[in-house]
Structure formats: C-alpha cells, structure tokens
Structure 1
Amino acid sequence: MDQFTLNLIVVGATFALYFGIAIWARAGSTAEFYAAGGGVHPVANGMATGADWMSAASFISMAGIIAFGGYDTSAYLMGWTGGYVLLAMLLAPYLRKFGKFTVPEFVGDRFYSGTARVIAVICLLIISITYVIGQMSGVGVAFSRFLEVKASTGLYIGAAVVFAYAVLGGMKGITYTQVAQYVVLIIAYTIPAIFISLNLTGNPIPGLGLFSNATSTGEPLLTTLNGLLADLGFASYTEQHDTTLNMFLFTMSLMIGTAGLPHVIVRFFTVPKVADARSSAGWALVFIALLYLTAPAVGAMARMNLINTIYPNGVSEAPVARADVPDWVDNWEKTGLLKFNDLNGDGLINYTSSKDTNELDVNKDIIVLANPEIAQLPGWVIALVAAGGLAAALSTAAGLLMAISSAVSHDLIKGQLNPGISEKGELMAARVSMAVAIGVATWLGLNPPGFAAQTVALAFGLAASSIFPALMMGIFSKRINSKGAIWGMLAGLTTTIVYIFLHKGWFFVASTASFSDADPLLGSIKSTSFGTIGAIINFGVAYIVSNMTEETPAEVQELVESIRIPKGAGAATGH
C-alpha cells in the first residue's frame, strides 16, 4: 500500500471517530453547549484539557523551535508547564466555585460592570483569534504534506472538519472529541520519538536518550550535536545566546499568559465540583508532561538527523547531491515548506549558518511531521504522525472557537444586547458566531505572523497583559473596583498590542511590513516577551485608579470572600 493511501485511511478513520463522538454527544442546551452540562469526569476532563492545551504549537512547532533554537527556546517548556501549575493553583478552583459559564461573565459580575464584561470579551476575542491563527496554520502544514495538497487547501479542509464537530457538539461534543484526540496525538508523538531515540542512542526512552551517548560517536548526544553545529558555523545548541532579561520576561509572559487563557480556564467549568476541578488539573498536568518531557529530545534528535541527511559522510566531507537526496526532501519540497536554492550551481546541498552560502531553507513547523520520514520509519508511523498533528491542531482550535462563540452569544448578545433572548435563540447565536469565527480564523491562517509557536506566543503575551491580572485581582483583592479593572485591562492590552505592532513593523504598509522581530524597542525586550511588562502596567493602573476612586461595594467584597473558600461549585453565586 502506498503512503498516500495509508495516510488517507488513518486520517480518515480518526476524523470518522471525531464526527461519531460529536453526533453522540450533541449539545441540546446552552449548559451543554457552553460547559458540557458540568458533568465531565475529572480524568476525562484532564485528558481533554491536555488535548486542548497541547496545540499545533506544542505538537508541530515547539520541537522545531527547540531544534533550531537550542537552549534559548527552553523557555517555551518552562513557561507553558509552569503556567499551567499557576493556573491550577491560583485560578481554576476559585473560578469553578463562582459557577458561571465564561471568563467575561466572572469579570462582569466581580467588577459589577457591563463595561468590564464587554472589555473582557474584547480581550478574549483578540487573544483567541491570535491563538487560533497558529492552529489553523498548523492544520495547513499537516494537510499540505500528507494529503499532497497546497497548504491553503489543507487549511480549508481543516476548517470544514472543525465546523462539523464543534458547531454541532458544542463543549459537550468538543470535550469527548478531545479525549479521543489526546489518545491519538500522544501515541503519534511518542512512537516516532522512541524509534528515533533507539536509532541514535540505543535508549528507548527519548528523555533519557537525550543525555545518553550517540551510537555513531560514543560521545554524549548533545556533545556530538554541538560539534556538528560548530563545524557548520551554527551557534552552540546548549549555550544561552538570548539576554537573561528577555528570556526571563518571555518565560514569565508564557506562564501568566497560560493562566489567563480563556479556552483553558473554561475547561474547569465542565466538572461537577470544585474538588473535581483540582483533580482534573492534576490529571491534565500528568497528560501534558508525557509530551513535554519528550519534546526536547525530539528537537535535538531531529536536528541531528537533518544534518546527517545532508552530510551522510560527515560535515568534513562534501554534502549530498540534490539528485541523491532521500525521498522525504522531495516530498516536503513539493509543499514549499522546504526549499533548495543551488546558489553556486554545483548540484550539492550546502547547509551552513551563512545566509550567503546556505542553500537549504527549512520551515521549523515541519520538523516533527517530517521526523519519521527523516529517520526512515515505517509508513504506518508516518500516517500516525499526520493524524496526531491534525488532532493537536483541531482540538485546540475547537476549544478556542468555543471560547469565542460563548463570549459573543452569552456575554455580548445575552449579557448586554438582548438579555431576554430564549435558550433556543442563544444556542443558535452560539453556533452562528462559531461559524463566523471559523471563517475569520481560516482567512487569517492563510497569512500567519510567524511560525505556529511564535504566533501562539503573541497570544500568551496578550492574555498575560489583560485577562490574567483581572482574574487575579478579582479573586484576591477586595479593593480593586470596576474603574480600576477597566482601566487596567485597557492599559495592559493597549500597550502590549502597540509594542507588538511597532516591533514587527505592522504599522507600515504591507509591502514593507515584516513578520519577524526587528531590533527590540525597549532594551532587549522582544514582542513575545512584552506581555510581562503589560501585566505589570495592568496591575499598576488598576491599583492606582482603584485607590483614587470609590471603594468596592460591600456585597462584592463579601462575594470575593466567598470565592476564596473553594467549597461547593457555584456556591458563591448560587449557580
């Protein structure tokens, strides 16, 4: 059986599973559409949270970023995992105690202001749309190779799939679909990693293989990789090159941004009790760790395999001729995500650090998907990775679209514009708004502002500067009033957006705009790191404005006191 047919069978089977689950778990009420009726088991919710969390950025892009960035990009691992711990400890139980459907609803009630709720909706939409661009981009990358279509065509197919099961099933359908997607993606990620670790080090556990000796040299794998990179003129894989300040701010931005992501927070509204929210957070961390402990090994081993492909006889010898490259190079070159430009006309692929002599351009997002082909693994493993990459991207895209849909239908339409809307009307509004969001995300996904992980990092910065401070102050401070929260969110979000746009040159005309970071505008702080500064601005403005204006009403202070004692889901508000 040829590879294309095998890909179709495996990917088609997983899609059939997702559609079947969506039909079985179709939402029949707003409670089921927004929060799965609040009846999801903690283990199932932990698995669904893992799938929701481990997006295209984690599955497809993160190992690629690590493969080419080395030590500096370990901030992605530290920030994302640390941020989830922060979310589980400081926010999830208290928000479940509050007992409502959405983050903007909490902000509106806690800060006793419809304006605060609308601003929270705006923040949520900006964050979620930015985040979903990376997922849709990842879908296009996966489809373009394994179904042998253009990336844009793959993007359209992925959008149609998400539309089918997310609009139909709502949060209930999405939750149980994500359980299946987690199983698919974690198997697809670990099996190739085990094979590759065995090939390169003889150790079947990738995380341990990373620190084992390479079978080709007898030296530690990372030492061998550093030697290969040094001979080609690349920076050391294990040394720090970024400034300590920027790396710290970037890690913090990812951490507090994680704790402010609406589509992850809403997962804790789907369990019956506060204790279940804590339990599902613990299970989710276990499920997430299975992939995150493997990713550094995947990145390092993929980079080594790439170099060995181009220099099969060692980097001191001539590189491989273009006519003699393995099939995987031809396969990915057809997608446009890998490019060979024979600058000197010698027919050889020169892979070096110099822009003037380097002839190979590799999109970082293809590393994980190409890994099985690079390592010459069986065809069924290649097909499985295709299904896993699509599962990762589609699961998170569905969660983000759910957050967008609920913000528009529940917080804007029912909460502000038409409070008397019927449940049937609200459910229809939710489905229509999700369909519109899918269309917008698809359009933006055609021209993403960077690799999947980079685009997602921008979303984390926006969440860090807007939603996270509002939630923290709403739970742990009685003094912050509505005016403080409103001006804090506006200040944090606005300064972060302006810095990102200035840093990336998006204020200029399209012909001169750049999708890569220019020189930092403030010291060494890049756009992906500014979320921490935005959060500090948010906290500071909220505190100053609150202390210059009236105190928080007594009943709201009592509400805050009640939320802090996480006993009984919904007890704080009677829901």
Structure 2
Amino acid sequence: MDLQTLTYLVVGATFALYIGIAIWSRAATTGEFYIAGKGVNPVANGMATGADWMSAASFISMAGLIAFLGYGGSVYLMGWTGGYVLLAMLLAPYLRKYGKFTVPEFIGDRYYSQTARAVAVICLIFISFTYVAGQMRGVGIVFSRFLEVDLLTGLIIGMGVVFVYAVLGGMKGITYTQVAQYVVLITAYIIPAIFISFQITGNPIPQLGLGSTISGTDVYLFDRLDQVVTDLGFNEYTAGGKSAIDIFAITAALMVGTAGLPHVIVRFFTVPRVRDARSSAGWALFFIALLYTVAPAVGAMARYNLTATAWPGGVATAEGAMSIEDRPDWMKRWEQTGLIRFEDKNGDGLIQYYNEASPSGQALAAQHGWAGNELRVDNDIMVLANPEIAGLPNWVIALVAAGGIAAALSTAAGLLLVISSAISHDLLKSMIARNITEKQELMAGRTAAAVAILIAGYLGYNPPGFVAEVVAFAFGLAASSLFPAIMMGIFSKTVNREGAIAGMIAGLAFTMGYILYFKGIFITPLAANIPENWLFGISPEGIGFVGMIINFAVAYGVSKVTAPPPARIQELIESIRSPRGAGAAIDH
C-alpha cells in the first residue's frame, strides 16, 4: 500500500476514534463542559494531562530544536520537565482544594476583586492565544505534508476536527479524547525512535543508543556527529550555543511558566478529591517522562540522518554538496510544503549545505566557488521527516503523522476550552450577565470556543516563529503574569488586590513588550533579535523570568503601601494551605 493511502487510513481511523469519544462523552452541563464533572480517574487524568502537556512543541518541535541547537536545546527539556514538578508540588493540590472552575475565578476570590479577575482573564487570553498559535502551526505542518495539501487547507481541516470534539464535548469529551491521543502520540514517538536507534547504533533502546557507538565502528554517535557538523562549519553538536545567563533565564521562565499555564492547571479540577490531584500529577509525570527521555535521542539521530546519511556518500561528497537530480524522494515530498527548500545560487547543479556564517564555511565556499548555503530546513519538520530520511516502513511514517496530529490537536483543544471558559464563565456569567441560565452559559462557551478556533487558525497561519519558540513565549507570559499571582495567593497573607493587579499588569506588559520589540507579533520588530541587543543578554524566550521578578516586586511593594487583605481572606488562605479535611474541602 502506498504511503499516502496508508496515511489517510491511519489518520482517518484516529479522527473517527476522537470524534466518536467526543460524541459518547458529550457535555450536558457546565460542570461537565468546564471540569468534566470532577469524575475523572487519576490515571486517566494523568494520561490526559500528558497529552495536554505534550503539545506540538514537545512532539514536533522540541526534538527539532535539539537537532539543530544540540546541547543548547536542553533548556527546553529541563524547563518543561522541572516546571511540571513545580506545578504538581506547589500549586495543583491547593488549587484543587479551593474547588473553583478556573484560574481567574481563584484570583478574583483570593484578591476579593472583580478587577483582579478581569486582569487574570486578559492574561489568560494572551497566554492561550500565543500558545495555541504554535499548536495550529503544528497542525498545518502535519496536514500539509501527509495529506499533501497546502498549509492553509491543512489548518482548515484541523480547525474543523478541533471544533467537533472541543466545542461539542467540552472538558469531559476532551479528557477522554486526550487519553486516546496520548496512546497514539507516545506510540508514534517511541516506535520510530526504536527503529532508528537500532539502525544507527544496533541498540533498540533510544536512551542507551544515544551514548552508543555507530554500528560496525568504534566511533561514538556524538563524536561522529560533532565531526560531521564541524566539517560543514557548524558549531559542535555537544557544545553549548547560549550564554549561561540566557540558559538560566529560559529554563527558569519555562519552569515557572509551566506552573502558571491555565490549561494544565484546570486538569487538576477534574478529579474527585485533592489526593487524586496529587496522584494524577504523579501519573502525568510518568507518562510525560516516556517521551521526554527519548527526545534527545530523536533530535541527535535526526540531525545525524539529515547531515551524515541523507546525502549520497554522506557529507564527504563535495564537502556537503548533493546533485539536484539525485536528491532523495523524501526531500521532493517535503519541498511541496515549503518547509524545506533549496536555491542553486551558482548554477552548478548541486545543493550546497554548510554554514556560510562561519570561517570554515566561508573557506568551503571559496574552495568550491559556492555563493552561499543553498538549503533551508525548517526545524519543525525533523521529527516528522526523520522516519522518511531513515527509510522506515510506510506504516511507521503514517503512524508518525497520526501522532503529530494527536499532539497538536490535544493541546489546542485544551487551550481553546480555557479561552471559552474564561469568556463565558469569568466574564459573561460572573461579571456581565450574571442572570443567564446554565444552558445559555453553555451555549456562550461553545460560541466563544468556535470564535477562538478561527483566531487560532489565523495565528497558526502567521506564527512569529517555530512551534517551540512560540510556545516558549506563552510560557514567559504565564511566568510573568499568572504564576506570581497564584503563588502569592496561596502562600502569602500580606499581598492584597492592589498589589496583585499591579503585579500582573507590570509583569505582562514588560514581557509582552519585550517580545514584541524583538519578535514583532502582528507588527514589524523594532530591533534585531540578536544577543547584543538583549537586556542582560536574555533572549525573548527567557525574558518571562525577569517579568516574574518584576511582578513579585511590584505586588509586594504596592501591598506594603495599601490596606492589608481582610481577615476573611487571610482565613481563606490558611484554610487552603491546611491539610485538615482536604479530601472534602469545598467540593460542594
């Protein structure tokens, strides 16, 4: 069976499964739409959280970044994994004990202010739309390649699927859909990794294959990879490409941003009891680790396959040149997406791939009469293209397509539901039209989700960067806005509404302004995104850490010069932190 037919069958079968689950678990009440009626088993919730968490950034883009950044890409592994531990230990059980539907609802009650709640909604919308842009880009990339359609058509198809099971099923439908999506995406990630690890090193365990020698030689994979990339003028794969301060800032921003992500936090409201929230956090960490421990091997082996084995004779052929006529079929297929492209600048009939920005790359150009690097490869295709580059069976390639779609759609659905609940529950029901019925609120939530899907599709078609890069911006916004407000709301009795509001606004404004200044989402960037222009040498991906510090400082400073929280609020904080009666606290 040919690859396209097989891909249609595999992807179509997974879609039928997702939509069937959504119809079976259709939300009938606002409780089921927002938090699945608080009846999800901890293991299932852990699996759903894993799918919600391992978005297109984790499945598609993270290994691609590791493939091209090498050691420097480890910040994403450290930040996202460490952040989940932070969320599970410091925030999730306390927020679940409080028992409200949404993060803005908690902030509004804790800081006894509808204004604080509205500011939290604004922060949440900024975070979620930035995040969902990356997911919809992932959807478009997968569809454009494996269904052989253009990016816009792929996005429209993906938006339609998300609309059916997110708008129809709500959180109840999404939760059980995400359980199925987790099974699909983890299978699709690990099976090709096993194949490729065995193919390159003879070791079928990718985590061990990463540190093994290449089959038939006594040369270690990392040593060979370092040699291959440096021969073409690139930095050593195992060398760090970022400054220490930027690595620290990005890791910290991703960690605390993780703990402030509303679509992950809301997962812990779907289980029956507080101890179930802790249990589901543990299960989720286990399910997440299955992918995150494999990702470094996937990235390194993808770079090795692209650079050392994809070219006829390897990079030794004309020091990194490939005949245009002899380019492999996988490259021709991916060229249709526009995500891999070449330009024969000097008309010699060859495709040159080297780092023209380095002295050794320039020496290659001078020696061979090249006019510049002629190949451009999008980071986000590496995981999806790797099985094709490695020549794996068609059924494995089709499975990867289904996994990539599952990863992108699972997180997109969770984010869209968070946006819809913020608009329908936190703004409409709680602030604008308090007398609407539950049926009207449910309809408003579904309408808001539908509108959000349209906006998300536009952002996915016009993203400000790679999938993981865009997602990192969302984490920075969460780190600088919601995370400090939640932390201080749980662990500080002195921070008041004025402080929380001022802190969220200051943190969000600074971080968003910095990102816009260098990346120009919707606008032309005002400055070149280069280390020489960064504040303290911190990139836009890591600036959320500075925004978080600003948020904390402003909140405590303003709280010192304004009235302290009322006694009832201080008692509320104490009751949230107290373990006594945790199993039944505020579950009614």
TM-score by length of 2: 0.95
Residues 28/448 of structure 1: CA separation in 2 closer, same or farther (3 Å cut): same
For residue 541 of structure 2, give the secondary structure of its aligned residue in structure 1: helix
Matched ranges for 1:142-541 at <5 A: 142-215=142-215, 217-318=217-318, 319-354=321-356, 357-505=372-520, 510=524, 519-541=532-554
Q: Deviations over 1:134-167 (max 9, x none)?
A: 0000000000000000011101100000001100
Q: How far apart are the structure 1 equivalents of 2:579 and 2:532?
A: 46
Q: Deviations over 1:252-297 (max 9, x none)?
A: 0000000000000000000000000000000000000000000000
Q: Deviations over 1:397-446 (max 9, x none)?
A: 00000100110011000110011111101100100000010011011111
Q: How far apart are the structure 1 equivalents of 2:411 and 2:472?
A: 15
Counterpart for residue 103 of structure 1: 103
Residues 574/283 of structure 1: CA separation in 2 closer, same or farther (3 Å cut): closer
The alpha-carbon deviation at position 551 of structure 1 amounts to 1.0
For residue 451 of structure 2, give the secondary structure of its aligned residue in structure 1: helix
The alpha-carbon deviation at position 345 of structure 1 amounts to 1.5
Q: How far apart are the structure 1 equivalents of 2:478 and 2:13?
A: 36
Residues 455/515 of structure 1: CA separation in 2 closer, same or farther (3 Å cut): farther
For the 8 Å contact 1:142–1:386, the answer to whether it is kept is yes
For the 8 Å contact 1:492–1:537, the answer to whether it is kept is yes
For residue 536 of structure 2, give the secondary structure of its aligned residue in structure 1: coil
Matched ranges for 1:2-41 at <5 A: 2-41=2-41
For the 8 Å contact 1:155–1:442, the answer to whether it is kept is yes
For the 8 Å contact 2:230–2:236, the answer to whether it is kept is yes
Q: How far apart are the structure 1 equivalents of 2:290 and 2:180?
A: 16
Counterpart for residue 112 of structure 1: 112
For the 8 Å contact 2:42–2:279, the answer to whether it is kept is yes
For residue 341 of structure 2, give the secondary structure of its aligned residue in structure 1: strand
The alpha-carbon deviation at position 514 of structure 1 amounts to 8.3
For the 8 Å contact 1:506–1:514, the answer to whether it is kept is no
For the 8 Å contact 1:136–1:393, the answer to whether it is kept is yes
Letter in 1 for 2:107: V
The alpha-carbon deviation at position 220 of structure 1 amounts to 1.0
Q: Which sections of structure 2, spanning at least 5 residues, go unmatched?
A: 358-370
Q: Which sections of structure 1, spanning at least 5 residues, go unmatched?
A: none
Q: How far apart are the structure 1 equivalents of 2:533 and 2:526?
A: 16
Residues 217/341 of structure 1: CA separation in 2 closer, same or farther (3 Å cut): farther
Q: How far apart are the structure 1 equivalents of 2:570 and 2:169?
A: 38
For the 8 Å contact 1:188–1:388, the answer to whether it is kept is yes
Question: How many residues were matched structurally?
Answer: 573
For the 8 Å contact 1:104–1:121, the answer to whether it is kept is yes
TM-score by length of 1: 0.97
Q: How far apart are the structure 2 equivalents of 1:244 and 1:309?
A: 33
Residues 515/273 of structure 1: CA separation in 2 closer, same or farther (3 Å cut): farther
| Counterpart selection for 2:571 from 554, 558, 565 | 558
For residue 316 of structure 1, give the secondary structure of its aligned residue in structure 2: helix
Q: How far apart are the structure 2 equivalents of 1:570 and 1:421?
A: 32
Q: Deviations over 1:18-53 (max 9, x none)?
A: 010000000000000000000000000000000000
